[in-house]
Structure formats: C-alpha cells, structure tokens
C-alpha cells in the first residue's frame, strides 16, 4: 500500500482540537482542563494511517473512557466541523513510553507552529513520520 499523506487540513484541524481542549473544562469540572502535555500526529506504517496522539494526565486521574467522552463531546459541537474523527485519535498518559521517547529526543521551540520528525530512531524505536504540536515537560 501507498503511504497516506498528512495534509494541511489534518494539521490545522488537529491544532484547532488541541486549542479547544485547552480552553474547555473537562468532564464538566470548571477547574479541570485537559492539560495536554504532548500532542502529535504519528504515522503507523502497519496500518498506513495517521493518529493524533494526545497525552494528558486526565488518563491517569479519571481514566480513558472519560477522556474520550470529553473529546467526543467537543468534536460534536465544533463549528465548522473537523475532518478528524474519534478513530483518528489516541488519548494516552504522559507516562506512555512513546510520549516519553519523543519528549526525550525533541524540543519544540517556543512560538513554533509545529515540527516534523521523519525517519528517526529513538532508543531503538523507529518513528517513520510525525508532526509534533507540543511537548510539555511535566510540572
């Protein structure tokens, strides 16, 4: 199969979703925002597809079901609608091994819109392609 491309609309829609998640309270709690520590598109050569990976401590605090429910509710009401679906998104803990690897190897400069990481090996893990929005160090 031929590799699918990450197009500008995917990048812009991912950015809009991340910005919205930062602004909207999570799970109806006014004090509990998504607090995204990492966000990036990752290409999977096994499935020939891209996934938007979002790392948030809410996975550890409230569990994946609630985190995915929050995202689904936000996607439902975004206007204009995003081309991203729930099948395109993976929500993980900031302690996820892949997230830790990417944080170890990459620094996103302040003010950068995003950076591309292509054909890299980090600690024996090959990353064919990724587009990185944010990599926040744990507070």
The Cα 127–Cα 129 span in angstroms is: 6
Q: Return the pLDDT at 5.
A: 83
Which pair of structure tokens corresponds to residue 26? 């999570």
The Cβ-side half-sphere exposure at 73, using a 13 Å CA radius, reads 12
11, 114 Cβ separation under 8 angstroms: yes
Q: pLDDT higher for 81 or 139?
A: 81
Which pair of structure tokens corresponds to residue 103? 């944080």
Helix runs in 30-123, H state only: 58-62, 64-77, 97-105
pTM above 0.85, yes or no: yes
Q: Is the pLDDT of residue 112 over 90?
A: no
Rounded to the nearest 10 degrees, how much is the dihedral formed by the CA atoms of 6, 34, 121, 128? -20
């Amino acid at each position: 199969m031929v590799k699918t491309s990450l197009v500008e609309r995917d990048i812009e829609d991912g950015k809009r979703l991340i910005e919205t998640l930062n602004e909207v309270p999570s799970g109806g709690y006014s004090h509990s925002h998504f607090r995204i520590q990492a966000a990036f598109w990752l290409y999977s050569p096994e499935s020939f597809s891209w996934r938007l990976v979002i790392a948030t401590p809410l996975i550890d605090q409230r569990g994946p079901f609630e985190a995915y429910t929050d995202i689904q509710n936000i996607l439902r009401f975004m206007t204009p609608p995003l081309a991203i679906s729930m099948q395109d998104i993976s929500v993980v803990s900031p302690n996820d091994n892949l997230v830790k690897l990417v944080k170890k190897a990459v620094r996103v400069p302040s003010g950068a819109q995003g950076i591309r990481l292509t054909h890299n090996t980090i600690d024996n893990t090959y990353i064919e392609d990724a587009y990185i929005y944010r990599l926040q160090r744990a507070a």
